[in-house]
Chains A and B, each alone.
Chain A
Amino acid sequence: MGSLRILVGCKRVIDYAVRIRVKPDKKGVITDGIKHSLNPFDEIAVEEAVRLKEKKLAADICAVSIGPQACQETLRTALAMGADRAIHVEVDDKTYQTLQPIHVSKILAKLAADEKIDLVIVGKQAIDDDSNSTAQMTAAFLGWPQATNASKVEPDGAGSVTVTREVDGGLETIKCKTPAVVSADLRLNEPRYATLPNIMKAKKKAIDKKKPSDLGVDVSPRIEILSVEEPPKRESGAKVESVDDLLTKLKGLGRI
């Protein structure tokens, strides 16, 4: 009997295909008028939640996104894929610049407690900051087990979940009691295209709006961005005609 209540984290990020440009004031990257989409790993997290519901192992899926107004679009994507409801925790643009996994995980932890969640599923990392920290911190704040970098998630419907994790040496399988926090890795699933009936239904689903203060979370900055710069331009290489040439050149550059 599956009655898991799932919370899925959905971060709105600059789309992977966009060419990132640094702002003239070097305090960040240009985001105005730039295409944003649902973080690919979070998309996989949403897909997994929907599949669990289709297998009747989950009863309710709540998608959450933290950020400015435009996050509502990200939540509509999650709703169209099959999430039942959504919560938008609104943060203004300026605060969003310095929002860190520690803030996000406190918010997710509070929501998980309030919404009586059994399983928190988030992407393993966001493609903008590559922090790979939110799942871990959320579990710590909740005192729940964590199963990160998941490539398979199998709840047994009786209070435990078996997760196969992608680790450096291969695959590791662990079993933990629910409630638990899981982070999705690339090979967990292939997200679906939302079908028209679901896209239509999603328009009518409610998005609950909250503020971090409603959840008792302080989102004041803990870091100061000093500067953001592009990586140094890759210099062109040089071709040499023979091994002797190569050695001479390397010696000349002080490499050998």
Chain B
Amino acid sequence: MFGRLMTRLRECSHSWSAYRRYTSVTAEDVTAFRAIVGPNGVQTDGLDAYNTDWLKTHTGHSELVLRPKSTEEVSSVMSYMNERGLKCVIQSGNTSLVAGSVPIDNEIVLLMGRMNAIESLDTASGILVTQSGSVLQTLEEYVNERGFIMPYDLGAKGSCLIGGNLATNAGGLRFIRYGSLHGSVLGVEVVLPDGQVLDLMSQMRKDNTGYDLKQLFIGSEGTLGVITKVSILCPLKLKHQTVALLSLKSYDHLLKIYDKIRRQLSEYLTSFEMMDALSLEAVVKNLEQSHPLGSHNEFYAMIELSANDKDHMESRLSQVIEELMSEQLISDGTYANDDNHNRFLKLKSYRERIAEGLLRDGYSYKYDISLPLNVFYEIVEVMRERLKDTDCLKVVGYGHIGDCNLHLNITSKAFDKRIKTTIEPFLYEYVAKHKGSISAEHGLGLMKNSYLKYSKPVEAIALMKQIKKLFDPKNTLNPNKVLPND
């Protein structure tokens, strides 16, 4: 009884109100978990880093972080939590941009990073089998050495884990060439909310036997099960990569070169990104980098080409660029091939570090939308106009123009409610009007679950709720996220 009193007093001291949203973790629970994952797998102190998301939009109040090493440990942990009515948020690299993997309140954080064993890579087929806690960059380097690449790539690759990438159906920079994880993932092993291990692992390219359940977990954002193992198809690594940065006068110019490059370099093209002047400025000024071109312009395209024959690829690229320059569609530019790896990576970093650069402004309001190409950039200008009387610092647009996916970002020194209400729900209504997606690749998480109705019909949302109830009747995993709360 004294134990329970102490727990209650401890609970009170963590916040002004004694109310904690979810069932609290007790000392007995901690002991039980320690028996499952070992003393090194339990952490009750110094949890700040796990309680706050990368964008610093939300801080939870978790008092317990667990680090399982194996599927069996995950299964035992889940089964215990489910029985006790405890809530759990699964966290990989904590790189979610919608606060999807931090506790809302006092959920237990299940950290997947210890489960990072790479099990096998079949060099004949390119099929990689790995535990879900492997860092994407580690996997990329591993398969690179053996003649393959991962089918997807993101700026967060140094921190994100493959399990989290699958849970969010990560898109990224190679999407234009290699498509969605729904296509490249061949199998998963998942621990269901009640602890049951569901073996959907496969190393077969084709398997049309029954409903393809793994597709439900891909993109489920940790609400239907814990992904513990992945088998994924890796494309062949082509010998040479070249990245080109081109500067353009207007969005219209960009659309024209996109069309030409897409057609004429289709066999080489692995990435086609765009950034506007302010996005590049965020990297150059905020991260103190030298300007890659020495001349400023309104828009930039960053394209990546891959081929086995370097000379052929570069001569084609240079032909196309010469034509575009003579047609005055490109103002300036540069390109670097990966023979000089340092320079190659540095040039790519001007695109990959935009989010990091913007964060230095203070607070970022991030929107990740799909829109048809003809109105793709219009929303940035509309927003700029709408926000001109507020304290916002920048309104920028950049992203995967090849996939019609715009990252619209607004920054200010600190969170400003007026800015937020000027943006939302106007932005979502605009997207809905153009039949776009309110979240192209970032998912819904905590920040966008109420807006699902702008992209999916009522009947679809009702079915999603039924599916959630079927997999997770006690709502153990990632409660109050992804699906709307009404």
Give the interface of A toward B (CB within 8 A). Answer: 15-19, 35-38, 40, 190-197, 199-200, 203
- Asked if B342 and A195 make an inter-chain contact with CB atoms under 8 angstroms apart, the answer reads no
Q: Which residues of A contact B335 (CB under 8 A)?
A: 196, 199
A199 in contact with B318 (CB, 8 Å) = yes
Which of the 9-residue segments B158-166, B220-228, B326-334, B359-367 touches chain A?
A: B326-334
**Residues A196 and B340 in contact, CB atoms below 8 Å apart:** no
- Chain A residues within 8 Å of B318, by CB: 199-200, 203
Is A193 a contact of B338 with CB atoms below 8 Å? no
Contact B341 A193 (CB under 8 A): no
Q: Which of B268-276, B287-295, B398-406, B474-482 contacts A (4 or more CB under 8 A)?
A: B287-295
Q: Are A190 and B290 in contact (CB under 8 A)?
A: yes
Contact call A196/B290, Cβ cutoff below 8 A: no
Query: Sorted from nearest, which 8 A-B pairs have the closest CB atoms?
Result: A17-B341, A37-B340, A193-B334, A35-B339, A196-B333, A37-B339, A193-B292, A15-B341
Question: Which chain B residues lie closer than 8 Å to A40 at the CB level?
Answer: 342
Cα(A203)–Cα(B325), bound, Å = 16
Whether the Cβ atoms of B334 and A16 lie closer than 8 Å is: no
Residues of chain B in range 355-413 having any CB-CB distance to chain A below 8 Å: none
> What number of residue pairs across chains A and B have CB atoms under 8 A from each other?
54
Is B343 part of the binding interface, using a Cβ–Cβ cutoff of 8 Å? yes
Is B321 at the interface (CB under 8 A from chain A)?
Answer: yes
Cross-chain contact A36 with B339 (CB below 8 angstroms): yes
CB of B333 within 8 A of CB of A195, answer yes
Tell me the nearest residue of chain A to B239, going by C-beta. A33
Q: Does B322 contact A (CB under 8 A)?
A: yes
Q: What are 8 A-B pairs at a CB distance below 8 A?
A: A15-B340, A19-B145, A35-B339, A38-B340, A193-B292, A199-B318, A199-B335, A200-B325
How long is the Cα–Cα vector from A238 to B322 in the complex, in angstroms? 60
A40 to B343, CA, bound (A): 10
**The one of B246, B332, B341 that contacts A16, using a Cβ cutoff of 8 Å:** B341
Q: Nearest chain-B residue to A191 (Cβ)?
A: B343
- For the complex, give the distance between the alpha carbons of A193 and B244 in Å: 11
Chain A residues within 8 Å of B246, by CB? 196
State in angstroms the CA–CA spacing of A37 and B342 once bound together: 10
B313 to chain A, nearest CB (A): 14
Contacts A199-B335, A200-B318, A200-B322; A193 near B342 (Cβ below 8 A): no
Q: In the complex, which residue of chain A has the Cβ closest to the Cβ of B340?
A: A37
In the assembled complex, the CB of B50 is this many whole angstroms from the nearest CB of chain A, namely: 26
Report A225 CB to chain B, min CB distance, Å: 25
Are B334 and A196 within 8 A (Cβ)?
A: yes
What 15 additional pairs, Cβ within 8 angstroms, besides A193-B293, A196-B321? A15-B340, A19-B145, A35-B339, A37-B343, A192-B294, A193-B336, A193-B347, A195-B332, A196-B246, A196-B330, A197-B325, A197-B332, A199-B318, A199-B334, A200-B322
Q: In the docked arrangement, what's the CA distance between A200 and B330, Å? A: 14
A19 to B146, CA, bound (A): 13
Q: Which one of B245, B325, B342 has the highest number of Cβ atoms from chain A below 10 Å of its Cβ?
A: B342
Tell me which residues across on chain B come within 8 A of A194, comparing CB atoms: 334
When the two chains form the complex, which single residue of A15, A192, A193, A199 contacts B339, counting CB atoms closer than 8 Å?
Answer: A15
Closest chain-A Cβ to B190's Cβ sits at a distance in Å of 34
- Cβ of B332: which chain A residues have Cβ within 8 Å of it? 195-197
Q: Which residues of A contact B334 (CB under 8 A)?
A: 193-196, 199
Q: For residue A40, which residue of chain B has the nearest CB?
A: B342
The listed residue (A17, A196, A197, A203) touching B342 by CB distance below 8 A is A17
A190 surroundings in chain B (CB, below 8 A): 290
Residue numbers in B under 8 Å from A196 (CB-CB): 246, 321, 325, 330, 332-335
Instruction: Write out the residue numbers on chain A whose beta carbons fall within 8 Å of the beta carbon of B340.
Output: 15, 37-38
Q: Bound state CA distance, A192 and B347, in angstroms?
A: 11
Chain B, residue nearest A194 (CB): B334
Q: Which residue of B lies closest to A192 (CB)?
A: B294
Q: Bound complex: CA of A192 vs CA of B341, how far in Å?
A: 15
Given the known interface contacts A192-B294, A195-B294, A196-B332, the answer about A35 and B338 at a Cβ–Cβ threshold of 8 Å is: yes
Contact residues, B104-148 vs A (CB, 8 A): 145
Residues of B within 8 A of A36 (CB): 339
- Complex formed: what's the CA distance from A35 to B339 in Å? 5
A18, A194, A195, A197: which has the most chain B beta carbons within 10 Å? A195
Most chain B C-beta atoms within 10 Å of own C-beta, residue among A15, A190, A200: A15
Who on chain A is nearest to B245 by CB? A193
Q: A193 — nearest CB in chain B belongs to which residue?
A: B334
The interface centre, meaning the residue of A191, A192, A196 with most chain B CB atoms within 10 A of its CB, is: A196
In whole Å, how far is A37's beta carbon from the nearest beta carbon of chain B?
A: 4
**Docked complex Cα distance between A200 and B245 (Å):** 15
B250 to chain A, nearest CB (A): 18
Once bound together, how far apart are the Cα atoms of A17 and B338, in whole Å?
10
A19 nearest CB neighbor, chain B only: B145
B293 CB contacts on chain A under 8 angstroms: 193, 195
Residues of B within 8 A of A193 (CB): 245, 292-293, 334, 336, 343, 347
Which residue on chain A has the smallest CB distance to residue B290?
A190
Query: Which residues does chain B contribute within 8 Å of A16, judged by CB atoms?
Result: 341-342
The smallest beta-carbon distance between A198 and chain B, in angstroms, is 9
Which residue of B has the minimal Cβ distance to A36?
A: B339
A217 to B336: give the CA distance in the assembly, Å. 35
A196 to B343, CA, bound (A): 16
CB distance from A96 to the nearest CB of B (A): 18
B residues 450-479 in Cβ contact with A at 8 Å: none
Q: Which residue in chain B gives the minimum CB-CB distance to A77?
A: B340
For A18, the closest partner residue in chain B by CB is B341
Q: How far is the CB of B291 from chain A (nearest CB, A)?
A: 10
> Chain B: which residue is nearest A34 at the CB level?
B339
A35: chain B residues at CB < 8 Å are: 338-339, 341
Rounded to whole Å, the gap between the CB of B186 and the closest CB of chain A is: 29
**B172-204: which have CB < 8 Å to A?**
none
Give A29 to B334 CA distance when docked, in angstroms.
Answer: 32
Q: How far is the CB of B459 from chain A (nearest CB, A)?
A: 52
Across the two chains, which residue of chain A brings its CB closest to B334? Answer: A193
Query: B388 to chain A: closest CB distance in Å?
Result: 34
Give the shortest distance, in Å, between B410 (CB) and chain A (any CB).
30
User: Min CB distance, B245 to chain A, in Å?
Assistant: 8
Bound form: Cα–Cα A207–B330 in Å: 29
| Bound form: Cα–Cα A19–B141 in Å | 12
Complex alpha-carbon distance, A199 and B342, angstroms: 19
Q: Which residues of chain B come closer than 8 Å to A17, judged between CB atoms?
A: 341-342
Residues of A within 8 A of B325 (CB): 196-197, 200
A36 to B292, CA, bound (A): 22
Q: Give A19 to B142 CA distance when docked, in angstroms.
A: 13
Chain B 243-271 near chain A by CB (<8 Å), digits 1 or 0: 00110000000000000000000000000
CB-CB under 8 A from A19, the residues of chain B are: 145
